[in-house]
Structure 1
Amino acid sequence: MNIPTLENSRVKLSLLDLSNYKHLESIAQEKDLIFYSPSDISSPEKLRDYVQVAVDGYYHKTTIPFLVYDKEKQAYAGSTRFGLINWKNKVLHIGWTWIGHRFQGTGLNINMKLLMLEYAFETLEFEKVEFRIDERNKKSRRAVEKLGATLEGIFRKDTVMNDGFRRSTCCYGILKEEWNTIKENLQLLI
């Protein structure tokens, strides 16, 4: 896959790999940054393993991981990715998103998601984009709802967390036929 850099006036999303992930080491150490995720980025080694999984998925065409650069703050902010890419059915997930605390609530996330949704629907011509979020993660759920995604259901106790807790996962979706209206609404927010 030849993935372009996704970019607007606020954010730049470039392919995340083992040559650039070190930009994320200090952010990955922030307290409770990915509390609601079954992933672990708590040490440089675990962050490298996390990125290696993303890179492996990229080479198998099931993920496209991005390094997030905040152009306003002129700083690397975190990571996000397309995952569980189903090329046959034209469905993918946007997730594995984490940005440092100082970037949260600044409009960076909505700019990231607008770029990613545009790419998924307009370039890749996918039919559906999904988001999977821990039921307890009210902040992320509100952010995805603000995008215009619809709650389609909750998978009960479907994911084991690092501490052994079995979380329930909310499944949100945006359909291709909803995209133009959602895009217009998002452009008014940025």
Structure 2
Amino acid sequence: MNIPPIENDRVSLTLLGLSNYKKLQEVANEKDLIAYSPSDISSPEKLKNYVQTAVDGFYHKTIIPFIIYDKQEQKFAGSTRFGHINWDNKTLHIGWTWIGREFQGSGLNTNMKFLMLQYAFETLAFEKVEFRIDERNIRSRKAVEKLGATLEGILRRDVVLKDGFRRNTCCYGILKDEWPTIKLTIFKEFN
């Protein structure tokens, strides 16, 4: 797959791989950055393994991983991806997102999600985008609700975290026919 950079004036999303992941080591070292995730990026080796898993998924066409560059701050901010890509049913998930604390609440995440939704619906012509979020992660849940995603249900105790806790996962979705209205709403926020 040839994936060009996805960008606007605020953020640039380029493919994450073994050639550029070290640019994220400082951010990945932040304590409890992905506390609600079953993944582990807490050491250089664990970060490399995390990226290798994403790269493997890219080659199998089930994942498109991105490194996030904040153009305003001129710094690498974190990572996100399209995952669980189902090319036949035209559905995918946006997730595995982590950004450093200095970038949180700055509008970076909204810009990034807008670009990803736009790419999923307008370039890939997908029918549905989903988000899966730990029920306890109120901040992330509010962020996707603010984007216009609908809570479709909660999967009970379906993911085991690093500490052995079995989380409940909130499933949110946006349909292709909802995107034009959501796009206008998000666009107004940028202006």
Note whether the superposition's TM-score is higher than 0.5.
yes
Instruction: State the alpha-carbon separation in 1 of the partners of residues 189 and 156 from structure 2.
Output: 33
Residue 44 of structure 1 corresponds to which residue in structure 2? 44
SS, match of residue 31 in structure 2: coil
Instruction: State the alpha-carbon separation in 2 of the partners of residues 158 and 70 from structure 1.
Output: 33
What is the CA deviation profile of residues 84-120 of structure 1, one whole-angstrom value per residue up to 9, with x for unaligned ones? 0000000000000000000000000000000000000
Alignment of 1:11-160 (within 5 A): 11-160=11-160
SS, match of residue 84 in structure 1: strand
Q: CA RMSD in A?
A: 0.3
- Runs of 4+ more than 4 Å apart: none
Instruction: State the alpha-carbon separation in 1 of the partners of residues 189 and 10 from structure 2.
Output: 13
**Aligned amino acid, residue 184 of structure 2:** E
Instruction: State the alpha-carbon separation in 1 of the partners of residues 161 and 130 from structure 2.
Output: 21
* Per-residue deviation, 1:59: 0.2
Instruction: State the alpha-carbon separation in 1 of the partners of residues 64 and 73 from structure 2.
Output: 24
What is the CA deviation profile of residues 125-152 of structure 1, one whole-angstrom value per residue up to 9, with x for unaligned ones? 0000000000000000000001000000
* Per-residue deviation, 1:189: 1.1
Instruction: State the alpha-carbon separation in 2 of the partners of residues 99 and 160 from structure 1.
Output: 22
Instruction: State the alpha-carbon separation in 1 of the partners of residues 100 and 3 from structure 2.
Output: 24
TM-score normalised by structure 2 residue count: 0.99
SS, match of residue 9 in structure 1: coil
Tell me the number of residue pairs that the alignment of Structure 1 and Structure 2 aligns.
Answer: 190
Instruction: State the alpha-carbon separation in 2 of the partners of residues 98 and 188 from structure 1.
Output: 25
What is the CA deviation profile of residues 155-181 of structure 1, one whole-angstrom value per residue up to 9, with x for unaligned ones? 000000110000000000000000000
SS, match of residue 118 in structure 2: helix
Residue 7 of structure 1 corresponds to which residue in structure 2? 7
Percent of aligned pairs sharing the same letter: 73
